[in-house]
Amino acid sequence: MDFVKMHGLGNDYVYVDCFRQRVDNPSRLAVQISDRHFGVGSDGLILVCPSERADVRMRMFNADGSEAQMCGNGIRCLAKYFYETYHPHTADHEMSVPGQRTFPAMLRVETGRGILTVGLELDEHNKVSRVCVNMGQPILKAREIPVALDAEQVVNVRMPVHGQELSMTCVSMGNPHAVFFCEDLDAIDLPLIGPLIEHHELFPQRVNVHFVKSDNPNEFTMRTWERGSGITLACGTGACASLVAGVLIGRCQRLVRAHLPGGDLDLNWCETDNCVYMTGPAAEVFRGVWPD
């Protein structure tokens, strides 16, 4: 089985082209191929699939085999692969970001979050260098995230974890996120606290966990424990959720640069359409053949 290893800011996935191949058990394959000692090594598996509703469909599986609704870094890489493989001549279809810029090429990607619009920045060789994703409107109602709290929204709610009381804001970007703003990221024992929050009884579908430090109103730095994958170098949906959480509690503006361990993302929670736009790089690492 042919595969492509790609990453967005170090958040790496193995991609399989299901226009050309079939994967019968993607959950099992995700566990095997993601293993960093006995497999290819990745944060998960992404299938590039045909769609009856959009240009392409993305299915994403975490390293533990669980299927997730959405992956921000993963969709940027999928867009790069699909455009460069199948649609190198669609540059006349533009994508405009309200109040910002226009991207010369556009794709529509079917995800568990719905159909998302993706804008592509192209280099002189018509290769994709950066990708902007309209991540849609954030979901803030507790029951829809979901969070098992009797509240309309979960904003600055105190949560006891391992003898500490943390201030938590919850957002869904198609997948659930718990965001904790703090003053010292290095003081957070993420390998300990991350899984405790991920599997907490408040989160019936588990949750992605983010600790965020506001550097100034237009920048923040974050660390992530991803549901089903553990510590990762970047989380695109998590960065978007952290922006929304920061705006809700007055810690940042709507237009920010997020600093993640793997690099930077430019984020915009647009007032005109209430959508979050995420822009960042996508890179191919290598191609190979997995023994089926």
**77 is annotated as an active-site residue:** no
Spell 93-128 as b/e; 16+ CB within 10 A means b.
eebebeeeeebebbbebbbebeebbbbbbbeeeeeb
φ, ψ (nearest 5 deg) of residue 216: -165, 175
- Among the listed residues 77, 132, 170, 235, the single catalytic one is 235
Residue 284's nearest CA partner among 81, 114, 104 is 81
**170 is annotated as an active-site residue:** no
CA 254 to chain centre: 18
- The catalytic site residues sit at 71, 235
